[in-house]
Amino acid sequence: DAGVTQSPTHLIKTRGQQVTLRCSPKSGHDTVSWYQQALGQGPQFIFQYYEEEERQRGNFPDRFSGHQFPNYSSELNVNALLLGDSALYLCASSLGTGGAVAFFGQGTRLTVV
Amino acid sequence: AQSVSQHNHHVILSEAASLELGCNYSYGGTVNLFWYVQYPGQHLQLLLKYFSGDPLVKGIKGFEAEFIKSKFSFNLRKPSVQWSDTAEYFCAVNPKAAGNKLTFGGGTRVLVKP
C-alpha cells in the first residue's frame, strides 16, 4: 500500500521563477492538503483540495495556487518566487474533509536563490 | 485564529528517563488533537490522536497523552525513553469545524543519549 509520494525531493530555483510540486495521495484517500515548513518551525497550512476544488486556505498569498486531478493527485504552484519561500513543502492526504487523520509525504525541499 | 504552543524547543535526556512534552492550544470550540513524530530523515508520522471519549490516549511505541480540556492542554508522556526516540515531536490541533486543517506547534527536538 503506497503511502503519500511527493516529487521532486529537492529543488533549487531562482528568485522570480515559478515552481510546481507534485503529490500522489495514499491509496484510498481523496483529500490533499499542502503545508509549508520553514526551518526550525512547525508546518503551516497552505490549502486543501477535495473533489478537485480548493476547500480551505491558510494565510498564504495568491502566488500559491494548486490543483487536484480526477485521480486525487495534486500540484502546488508557486509564482514569482521569493527567498522567503525556501522551505520544506509537505503534502498530506486523508479521507474526506471531516477531521480525518492526515498522512504525510517526505516533502519537497525548495531552495530559492 | 487558533494557535498551538509547545513549551520546550529542545530536550536532552538519558535512556530510561521519563519524558513529558507540553502542548497548549488556543481555541474555544471542540477540537481533535494529534501528536506527530519526525524521526531523522523520515516523514511525519502519527504518534497518537484524540477525537473524543477517554482523555487519556495511548499511541505507538509506549507513548500516551492526556487531554485536559480546562487547561487547553494535550501533553505527551513516555515513562522510559530509548535512544530510538530521538526525533522531533509536533503537537497539532484540528478544530472540528475546520475540516482537516491542522495547526501545528513549533516542535520539540528530543535527543536521547545512550
Query: Contact at 8 Å (CB) between A108 and A11?
Result: yes
Look at residue A67 in the predicted model and tell me its pLDDT. Answer: 97
B7 pLDDT band, cuts 50/70/90, is confident
Task: Report the alpha-carbon distance of residue B27 to residue B44 in Å, rounded.
Answer: 24
Residues 6+ apart with CB under 8 A from B57: B48, B49, B50, B64, B65, B66, B67
SS (H, E, C) A49-77: EECCEEEEECCCCCCEEEEECCCCCEEEE
pLDDT higher than threshold 60 for residue A25: yes
**Whether A44 and B46 lie within 8 Å, measured CB to CB:** no
pLDDT higher than threshold 60 for residue A1: no
**Whether A33 and B102 lie within 8 Å, measured CB to CB:** yes
**Whether A94 and B100 lie within 8 Å, measured CB to CB:** yes
| Mutation site, B101, B103, B104, B109, interface A, largest A CB count within 10 A | B101
pLDDT higher than threshold 70 for residue B91: yes
Which residue(s) pair with B58 in the sheet? B64
A2 pLDDT band, cuts 50/70/90, is low
Single-letter residue type at A20: T
pLDDT higher than threshold 60 for residue B66: yes
Give the cell for residue A12. 533549487
Strands B10-14 and B108-113, bridge-based pairing: parallel
A84 three-class SS: helix
Give the cell for residue A42. 512547525
Q: Which of A64, A63, A66, A61 is nearest to A31 (CA)?
A: A66
The upper half-sphere exposure of residue A11, i.e. CA atoms within 13 Å in the direction of its Cβ, equals 25
Q: Which of A39, A31, A15 is nearest to A89 (CA)?
A: A39
